[in-house]
Amino acid sequence: MIVSLFHTLNALSFALVSIPTLALTAVSITRFTTKQRSINVVLFLTNNQLNELPLITLAILWTMSYWLRITGTFSTSVLATICWYFNVLTTIGLGYLFSQSLVVKDVAQKFLDQLAKESKTSVQLPEPFSAPFLQKYLNPLIKTENYTSYENISYWTPQEQLEVIRNDGWESAVEMVLDVYQPNGIQGGDERPVLFYIHGGGWTSGTKDWLGPYLPELLSRSWIVVSIDHRLQPKAGYPSQLIDCKRALRWVKEEIRILGGNPDNIVVMGDSSGGHLAAMLTLTMNDPTFQPGFESVDTTVHGCVSLSGVLDLVDAKGQLRHNGRERFTEVVAKRSGPPESEENIKFMKEHSPFHLIKPTGVPFLVVHGDQDILQNVRNARDFVEAYRAKIPGGDHCFNGYSSLRSWYTTLALVEWLQWHFGASQNKDKKARATVDKLVDWGW
């Protein structure tokens, strides 16, 4: 009786893992989406697990299979045997997803080869099965060392703090903080380049605590990294989040030199909604509209990286895969009226980087996966083409995982940052108004 129960529980546990994994693998391969953002978010989270960590998923499945074999469950359970065949199908599917990630190396290498024409420095990416690289992308828990972190630094003024507490409560004031990561050996006055990172999360969720593989790569090159939080549920709605980002930038401008950063060499980078905010920071530099109470403060940035960014809120071409305009106007901006109303369309245009493109003298890098189920890659391509058209001479969140695709993208991105902002020989180089893209890989 006890042995039979043991085999039954083994088989049920195996089925509870094998059947959903097969179904989600099929969804990931077919890129199934719906018109509902909440469902797409769930699909995005599950798809990313399979797309970015297929080898680890396979290891879990076949470890379970081995356990059922040595315990004799396969010989007593039809369900376990059927699920074993499901695992075979899943293995084929995950193998296909892994093969798609191998394409990223070629895309990233072509990007670096193009960059090398200007930098005169050739960079060859490591092979996907080389020992150092395997150690990186097979370890989902990235351990960063050799740095000092200064955490939860408030960037509001006392007056701003009181106003936020009065309007939104103490919890919102606590969200207005940032972390600074200082590489070991860097001291005040060293004038190192600064990466200013804004997390994603649809403007209403997310955290500054997870930067993925960018943090160790940048720290190894002696960059100062600043990661910020902003208010997630301000009663006034958006653009409170943008204003918070500018407040955090104000703090960096005033204080970062003490920790070895250069306030005149700041690159802003964001993921998803953070990519939108990063682009907005760049395209509204020193705009007093978004600097209430600190209108005269310099909020200039010197480079921008948008990762899977929301670059066109209006979505006039209908490229979004869900009700993005409705959610932004009602949930994020907390505006009344239908999203298609003249007032709301005007508001979204005023806060869409695509509709604000102008000469800024700031290098732009746009990074977007071509199978993004939350933000269509065509929006990124449209932004790149529009930027090139308006700037004469100018050239989404898988990136949070320690995966093959993520690491290759990170290495290409960091080389771009290093060339434009980090190399000592380019310290006095005038920034060029360029826009580069790295958008056409599958995930």
**Chain centre distance of CA 150:** 22
Residue 420 pLDDT grade (very low, low, confident, very high; cuts 50, 70, 90):
confident
| CATH number of the domain to which 185 belongs | 3.40.50.1820
Q: What whole-number distance in Å separates Cα of residue 376 and Cα of residue 71?
A: 47
Per the CB < 8 A criterion, the answer to whether 276 and 284 are in contact is no
**How many domains does one find in the chain?**
2
Q: Is residue 161 predicted with pLDDT exceeding 90?
A: yes
Q: Are residues 176 and 283 in the same domain?
A: yes
- Of 277, 328, 330, the closest CA to residue 301 belongs to 277
The runs of H, that is alpha helices, within 31-150 are 37-52, 54-70, 78-119, 131-137
Is the pLDDT confidence value at 140 over 90? no
| Residue 117 placed within a domain | no
Task: Please write the tens of the pLDDT for every residue from 174-207.
Answer: 999 999 999 999 999 999 999 999 999 889 999 9
Nearest to 248 by CA among 225, 230, 275: 230
User: 88 lies in which domain range?
Assistant: 2-102
Q: Catalytic pick from 7, 302, 351, 396?
A: 396
pLDDT digits (tens, 9 = 90+) for 305-319: 988 888 888 876 665
Confidence grade of residue 321 (pLDDT, cut at 50, 70, 90):
low
- Report pTM: 0.81
Short-list 366, 375, 367, 268, CA closest to 312: 375
Is 413 part of any domain?
yes
Asked whether residue 394 is domain-assigned, the answer is: yes
**pLDDT band at 112; cut points 50, 70, 90:** confident
Which residue of the set 272, 273, 402, 403 is catalytic?
272
**Is 336 part of a structural domain of the chain?**
yes
A 10 A CB-CB count for 123 gives 17
Residue 228 has pLDDT above 90, yes or no: yes
Average pLDDT score over the chain: 81
pLDDT at 57: 86
Residues 318 and 403 in one domain: yes
Residue 396 designated active-site: yes
Q: What value does the mean pLDDT take over residues 163-178?
A: 92
* Averaged pLDDT for residues 345-356: 91
Q: Are residues 89 and 131 in the same domain?
A: no
The pLDDT, as a whole number, for residue 166 is 92
Residues 94 and 198 grouped into a single domain? no
User: What per-residue confidence (pLDDT) applies to 25?
Assistant: 86
Residue 119 lies in a domain: no
Active site annotation includes 272: yes
What single letter denotes the amino acid at residue 143?
A: K
Is 57 in the same domain as 175?
no
Q: Is the pLDDT of residue 443 over 50?
A: no
**pLDDT for residue 139 is more than 90:** no
